[in-house]
Amino acid sequence: MSKETIRVRRKRGRIGNRLRRVPLYVLPVLWSLFTIFCVLWIILTSLKTNRELFSNVWSLPTSIQYQNYVKAWTVSKLGLEFRNSVVLVFASVLLILVLCAPAAYVLSRMKFKGGGLLTGIFIAGAGIPLPLLFIPLFGLTAKLHINNTLPGLIIIYTTVSIPFTMYLLTGFFRTLPTELEEAARLDGCSEFGVFRRVMLPLASPGLITAAIFNFIALWNEYMLALVFLNDPNKMPISRGLYGIAESMQYTGDWVGLFAGVVIVMVPTIIIYVLLSERLIEGITMGALK
């Protein structure tokens, strides 16, 4: 056999290998195409007129209808609700980190009686279905006169985020090396100084992951906002969008509704595209040891 034929055969083998792999691509490609198509379709539809949409759901917009967005932002009040959501979510995420980071640090890095149990109790909260809390929490917030207010919902958002955040952060703190901590103690750093100057900076990737997670979850949150808010001027954006969907039966304004969908989707999708590796790491961090 000449060198030439061997080379040809090897090449054929490689191509054969590739061809055999083609079926493996079919399902992931179709699935991804469907998802990408849905996003593009929503964006294009939000730029059409209702008449164009009803005559053909697949057509491209003949002229770009920016006013769908203007209407959703002003007439449907999504602008106000967007700002409410920004306040709600930023305040909640900040509070979650301020409360959970020190606790997770202590629980995962220091040995003391009951520490393991307390960690367990924090994480076990993930197994409590939130509808169980509706009525007692409603009564409690009413008693404290924080019902139907943004601060009230911020407190509720913060507490319901504790189990997952503790799970994530205790897991993260545990992976950090001990050398720096010990070196800082030898250098005479106070206990608080060790946390503030050494461990907190080391933990910042974990804190960022926790922040992204909670930001996305709370930006998208609907159920608790439905139960605990009633004032139309305090609604977060998810309830604003549902409000547009609800009034659809009277207005028939589908394109306006999809403009609203885009406004709701954009912040989390931008974060996802920029930080998806972090987010995916965060999901798998606890499950893998």
Partner 1 sequence: MFTERKKLIIAFLIPSSALYLIFFLVPALQSLFYSLFEWRGFGADKEFIGLRNFQHLLDLRATFDGQFPFLHLNPRDAVFWVSMKTTLTFLLLGGVLTFTLAFLFTAMLSSGIRGKKFFRLIIFAPNVVAAVALATLWGFIYNPRFGMLRGFFEILGLEEIAKTPWMGPGKIVFAVLIAMCWIWIGFYLVLLLAGVDQIPKEMFDAAKVDGANVFQLFTKVTIPLIWDVLSIAIIHFGIGALKVFEFPYVICGRLPPREIWTLGIYTYVMGFGKRDPIYRLGYSSAIGVIMQLLVIVLILVFARVFRREAVEY
3-state helix, strand, coil in the chain (%, to 5): 80, 0, 20
Residue closer to partner 1 by CB (options 7, 102) is: 102
Q: Do residues 228 and 147 make contact, with C-beta atoms less than 8 angstroms apart?
A: yes
Q: Which two tokens stand for residue 144?
A: 């404290």
**Is the Cβ of residue 4 or residue 58 nearer to partner 1 in the bound state?**
58
Nearest distance, CB of residue 262 and partner 1, angstroms = 9
Let me know: does 268 contact 89? Beta carbons within 8 Å. no
Which of 87/140 has CB closer to partner 1? 140
Supply the minimum distance, in Å, between the C-beta of residue 73 and partner 1: 16
Estimate to the nearest angstrom the gap between the alpha carbon of 178 and the chain centroid.
31
Cα torsion through 32, 33, 34, 39, rounded to 10: 90
CB of 180 to partner 1, least distance (A): 17
Maximal CA-CA distance, the chain: 90
Rank residues 60 and 142 by Cβ distance to partner 1 and give the closer one.
Answer: 142
Query: Nearest distance from residue 8's CB to partner 1, in Å?
Result: 24
Residues 218 and 160 sit within 8 Å (Cβ to Cβ): no
Measured at the alpha carbon of residue 147, what is the angle toward residues 232 and 264, in degrees to the nearest 5? 40
Instruction: List, as one string, the DSSP characters of 2-27.
Output: -HHHHHHHHHHHHHHHHHHHHHHHHH
Angle at 172 between CA 152 and CA 213, to 5 degrees: 40
Question: Closest Cα partner for 260 from 92, 64, 80, 52?
Answer: 80
DSSP annotation of 60: P
Least spacing, CB of residue 185 vs partner 1, in Å: 10
Q: How many CB atoms lie within 10 A of CB 7?
A: 10
Q: What value does the CA radius of gyration of the chain take, rounded to a whole number of Å?
A: 26
- Who contacts 144 (Cβ-Cβ below 8 Å, separation ≥6)? 152
Question: Is the Cβ of residue 6 or residue 223 nearer to partner 1 in the bound state?
Answer: 223
Residue number with CB closer to partner 1 (8 or 276): 276
- Residue 3 C-beta: closest distance to partner 1, Å: 28
Q: What is the closest distance, in whole angstroms, from the C-beta atom of residue 135 to partner 1 in the complex? A: 5
Q: Which is nearer to partner 1, 65 or 213 (CB)?
A: 213
Nearest to partner 1 of 1, 129 (CB atom): 129
- Report the nearest approach of partner 1 to the CB of residue 19 (Å): 13
